[in-house]
Structure 1
Amino acid sequence: MAVIAKKQAHGTGIPTIYGILFAIGAGHFFNDSIQAVVPAMFPILEKTLSLSYSQIGWIAFVVNMTSSVMQPVFGLYADKRPRPFLLPLGMFMSMLGLIGFGLSPNFYIILCSVFFIGIGSAVFHPEGSRVAYMAAGEKRGLAQSIYQVGGNFGQSLAPVFTALIFYPFGQKGILSFTFVAAMGIILLIFVSKWYKQQISFGAQIKKKIVASTTKQRIHPKLIGAMILLVFIVFARSWYSAGISNFYQFYLIEDYGISIQGAQIYIFIFMIAGVIGTFLGGPLADRFGKRNIILFSLVGAAPLAMMLPYVPLFLVIPMFFLIGFIITSSFSVTVVYAQELMPNKIGMVSGLIVGLAFGMGAIGSVLYGNLADFFSIKFVMILCSFLPLLGLLTFLLPKDEKVREMNEQTR
């Protein structure tokens, strides 16, 4: 650790600390696996508690909105006062939510329980992104990919949980995930100790960084780019929310698939997203972050628009391609946002990963109401046009231009 601090102090290259990156990536996996329990339970809750699509949308709204909107708040706080203990604390709060969720007898107690799961996730994410940033060295795209792929892999297991755990064991099966939370707490205690040591070793360096960045103004065009980036991620999140929360019902109602069979299709979409997330970072390091963001949405748009109309045998290959392409910018948008505002790492990480997904939570409520009022097919057709909003990426500044504008304000 001391060697790293000396290298930083002398301004030489900072090494990429893969052990910490894989550890925080595993912590992200545990965190998002717990959050994936919520949508995984939707088909079961619809039957056992006779929930409407609107109520399912509200459950998705509460867990996503609390986990999302609070992320920039915790991130802004951590930018001023880093708190390593927030990592295991967030996981502990998620554990409390899991216990409540597993024992909830009605819709309203479920809402209270998923609120705790959401808050726990909101506490974890900004500090997790900060740890990935600190351990990245010069490989920021790769580092964010390692960190984000853990979370996306955890989310991708939602249909597996439904098919293998919740379908046969019901709501009580949720309680088994308290062991996942316990393992996450132990792992994050280890990571938080490293984080705390880095804060101590880097105290003098931090003063220099603060002196150089607190006086740094933010170029007005970069503020506009950040707003536009949030909107673009918001459109991507609305599409993903429609697929992950409601496409399984479309398969069940329009194609006659069973609950367990529908999970295979959702899993294909989400595991393709894991692969896209992992490869997106290195591709962005080579081809540019803005270019990958553009490709991820515009490239997926034609396939997304065809999806509601294709025969069943084409759904899996199309799902794989859409999932891979549209999530290839998942980690890239975080790194691009960090470069737009390099002195607000925690806040912008929470803004991109958090607030933008919170807007996707609003989409879940809208979709649920539209499905009740019209049909699930109507919702899927509506979702299919969202990737077209990726054309707005042309208005974002190129990577080189971002660096030039940051240099101008120093």
Structure 2
Amino acid sequence: MSTSSREASRPLEAARPREGRSVFLLSAGHACVDVYQGSVTALVPFFVAERAYTYAAASGIVLAASLLSSVAQPLFGALTDRWAMPWLLPLSTLLGGVGIALSGLSGDYALTLAFVAISGIGVAAYHPESARVARLASKGSHTAMSWFSVGGNIGFAFAPLLVAAVVATGGLRCTPFLVVPALAGSVVCLPVLRALQGTSSGGRARTRAGVDDVRSFVTLSLAVVCRSIVFVGLSTFISFYARQRTGGGVAAGTAALFVLYLGGAVGTVAGGSLAARWDRVTVVRRSYLLTVVAVAGVVLVPGPALYLFVALTSAGLYVPFSLQVTLGQDYLPTRVGTAGGVTLGLAVSVGGLASPALGAVADAASLRVALAPLIALPAVAWLLFRTLPEPAVPAPAAAPPPEPAP
């Protein structure tokens, strides 16, 4: 290689570690903010124990976190399509943490709902912009996006452990200590924002070239909704259900929630790797077929084997997670913020809208009856994905033909 070629390659070689560092920091920040999504469902058993809430009232807390988040996330996505707002990352992380930190201080049900809703707004503001910045930092890599997404899985996984460590020892009055991850997450994202200064991460958002495939995006969004209802439904009630089916105590329920969340980290990383071998649509379709069997096992199989099916369900639901984000961004190349807000944010929050209905059925009949309909939803997602195309990767521009010799 010539001296000039080596000199030209040095900026690219230096850029790769910087990009990897940025994705790592974004993943860490994603973990810090998604702790608060996982904390809502992890706090539900403590609200039931200390305040004698019914299943329906407890699931109303999940609804409060989800309702405003479901509405706000597409709005924040549309805003980030028009203007880049990287400052939202530290601000929204703090908002998500403060809401959860205050949720245990008042015994008033309405105030508890309000604080949890504030946390949901913070989470809603975070996801569209973080997905846009992560795509920018990762140069659109599916594997890098899976590592960004896995940060959220880790945050979810550690939420029940964090809540148990803080609240189980001192009660709900100790929830202010849960603000610590928010403080850490707001600091972690600052180096990324500095590294991306001068790019399209600041000022007016850059619009990617391409044609939006709205029909495919809507179909994808419906599949995301099915996945979300299964995930949030299990997140809300798996602690109670595991205790019933295994005859264990609080530890048995916390372990089931931890397995549900931690298995998502494995599934997300696997999804990025599998998409490098097969196309994303094929990987997601096969994953949803696995999930049908896994959810059936959760609902129908008693005893310790329940944990195996919880792990399989988690992997089956999370293999599609980051792949659906990049698919959505490729279906809407001119509105990647909106696509990220729907596929990344609503993948978790919209399922909370169905939680009160599941809670009402559980109160009227049993948890097993309430969870049984969740078996069918991955099958619906599989059917929806059978109609979806794999977005074509734009071909590089052809070199101009040589001019004819004079």
Residues of 1 paired with 2:120 and 2:203: CA distance? 32
Residue 281 of structure 1 and its aligned partner are, at CA, apart by: 1.4
Distance 1:150 1:126, change over 3 A: same
Q: Where does 1:280-295 land on structure 2 (aligned, <5 Å)?
A: 280-295=271-286
Listed one character per residue, the Cα deviations across residues 229-276 of structure 1 (whole Å, up to 9, x for unaligned) are 111111111111121111211222343221122111221122111110
Residue 314 of structure 1 and its aligned partner are, at CA, apart by: 1.3
**1:240 aligned residue:** 231
Residue 118 of structure 1 and its aligned partner are, at CA, apart by: 0.7
Q: Is contact 1:145-1:280 (8 Å) kept?
A: yes
Residues of 2 paired with 1:271 and 1:70: CA distance? 27
Q: Where does 1:10-49 land on structure 2 (aligned, <5 Å)?
A: 15=16, 17-49=19-51
Q: Where does 1:72-87 land on structure 2 (aligned, <5 Å)?
A: 72-87=74-89
Residues of 2 paired with 1:281 and 1:134: CA distance? 17
**2:103 aligned residue:** 101
**1:4 aligned residue:** none
**1:180 aligned residue:** 181
Residues of 2 paired with 1:38 and 1:200: CA distance? 31
Q: CA RMSD in A?
A: 2.5
Q: Which runs of 5+ in 1 are unaligned?
A: 1-6, 405-410
Distance 1:333 1:358, change over 3 A: same
Q: Which runs of 5+ in 2 are unaligned?
A: 1-7, 396-406
Report the number of matched residues: 384
Q: Is contact 1:79-1:347 (8 Å) kept?
A: yes
Residues of 2 paired with 1:314 and 1:344: CA distance? 44
**2:367 aligned residue:** 376
Q: Is contact 1:15-1:137 (8 Å) kept?
A: no
Residue 403 of structure 1 and its aligned partner are, at CA, apart by: 5.9
Runs of 4 or more off by more than 6 Å in structure 1?
200-203
Q: Is contact 1:68-1:350 (8 Å) kept?
A: no
**Percent identity between the two aligned chains:** 27
**1:315 aligned residue:** 306
Residues of 2 paired with 1:198 and 1:399: CA distance? 26
Q: Where does 1:239-258 land on structure 2 (aligned, <5 Å)?
A: 239-258=230-249
Residues of 2 paired with 1:50 and 1:392: CA distance? 40
Listed one character per residue, the Cα deviations across residues 287-342 of structure 1 (whole Å, up to 9, x for unaligned) are 11101110121122122223322131311222222211221110000001111111
The amino acid of 1:159's aligned partner reads P
**1:332 aligned residue:** 323
Distance 1:391 1:102, change over 3 A: same
**2:222 aligned residue:** 231
Residues of 1 paired with 2:199 and 2:265: CA distance? 29
Residues of 1 paired with 2:143 and 2:338: CA distance? 21
2:86 counterpart SS class: coil
Residue 194 of structure 1 and its aligned partner are, at CA, apart by: 2.6
Listed one character per residue, the Cα deviations across residues 100-143 of structure 1 (whole Å, up to 9, x for unaligned) are 213122211110101111111111111111111011125x2112
Residues of 1 paired with 2:255 and 2:27: CA distance? 25
The amino acid of 2:36's aligned partner reads I
Residues of 1 paired with 2:98 and 2:291: CA distance? 38
Residue 15 of structure 1 and its aligned partner are, at CA, apart by: 4.7
Q: Is contact 1:71-1:126 (8 Å) kept?
A: yes
Residues of 1 paired with 2:286 and 2:370: CA distance? 24
Q: TM-score, normalised to structure 1's length? A: 0.87
Residues of 2 paired with 1:53 and 1:260: CA distance? 19
Q: Where does 1:392-407 land on structure 2 (aligned, <5 Å)?
A: 392-400=384-392
**1:155 aligned residue:** 156
Does 1:363 find its partner at 2:363?
A: no
Q: Is contact 1:126-1:349 (8 Å) kept?
A: yes
**1:71 aligned residue:** 73
- When Rg is computed on C-alpha atoms for both structures, the one with the higher figure is 2
Residue 393 of structure 1 and its aligned partner are, at CA, apart by: 1.0
Q: TM-score, normalised to structure 2's length? A: 0.88
Residues of 1 paired with 2:211 and 2:262: CA distance? 41
Q: Is contact 1:307-1:315 (8 Å) kept?
A: yes
Listed one character per residue, the Cα deviations across residues 176-212 of structure 1 (whole Å, up to 9, x for unaligned) are 1222211112122332223333238998xx7xx64x7
Listed one character per residue, the Cα deviations across residues 136-176 of structure 1 (whole Å, up to 9, x for unaligned) are 125x2112111110011101123323443322221123211
Residues of 2 paired with 1:383 and 1:240: CA distance? 9
